[in-house]
Amino acid sequence: MSTSRIALWAFGILALVFLLAPVVVILPLSFSAGSFLSYPLPGLSLRWYQDFFSSDFWLPALWNSLKLGAATAILASILGTLAAFGLWRARFPGRQAVMAVLMAPMVVPAIVVAVPLLLFFGPLGLTNSFTGLLLAHTVLGAPFVVTTVLAALAQFDPVQLRAAAACGANPARAFWRVCLPQITPGVAAGAVFAFAISLDEVVVVLFLAGPGQRTLPRQMFSGLNDSISLTVMAAAMVMVLLSCLLLLAVTLLRRGPQR
Give all domains of the chain, ordered by start, each with its CATH number: 1-45 (no CATH), 55-258 (1.10.3720.10)
* Per-residue pLDDT, 27: 80
The angle, 0 to 180 degrees and rounded to 10, between the axes of the packed helices 180-200 and 58-89 is 140
CA 190 from chain centre, in angstroms, equals: 9
Q: What is the mean pLDDT of residues 132-147?
A: 90
The crossing angle, in degrees rounded to 10, of helices 216-226 and 180-200 is: 20
Closest by alpha carbon to 134, among 115, 147, 119, 117? Answer: 117
Q: Is residue 38 within 8 Å of 23, Cβ to Cβ?
A: no
pLDDT reading at 259 higher than 50: no
Q: What is the mean pLDDT of residues 214-222?
A: 83
pLDDT of residue 227: 61
Mean pLDDT of 20-37: 77
Q: Is residue 28 pLDDT above 60, yes or no? A: yes
Query: 44: which DSSP letter?
Result: B
pLDDT at 254 over 70: no
Res 4 pLDDT > 60: yes
> Cβ-count burial of 16 within 10 angstroms (0-12 exposed, 13-18 middle, 19+ buried)?
exposed
| Closest by CA position to 191, among listed 62, 104, 70 | 70
Please give the angle made by the CA atoms of 259, 182 and 70, to the nearest 5 degrees. 95
Provide the H-helix boundaries in the chain: 3-26, 47-54, 58-89, 95-107, 110-124, 130-153, 159-166, 171-174, 180-200, 203-208, 216-226, 231-255
CB atoms within 10 A of CB 138: 24
Of the candidate ranges 31-45, 77-91, 153-167, the one whose mean pLDDT is the lowest: 31-45
pLDDT band at 24 (very low <50, low <70, confident <90, very high): confident
Average pLDDT over residues 168-188: 84
Distances, alpha carbon 166 to alpha carbons 170, 171, 175, 192, in Å:
9, 11, 14, 35
Closest to 120 (Cα-Cα) out of 202, 208, 215, 198 = 208
Residue 238 amino acid letter = V
Higher-confidence residue: 223 or 172? 172
Question: What is the C-alpha R_g of the chain?
Answer: 22
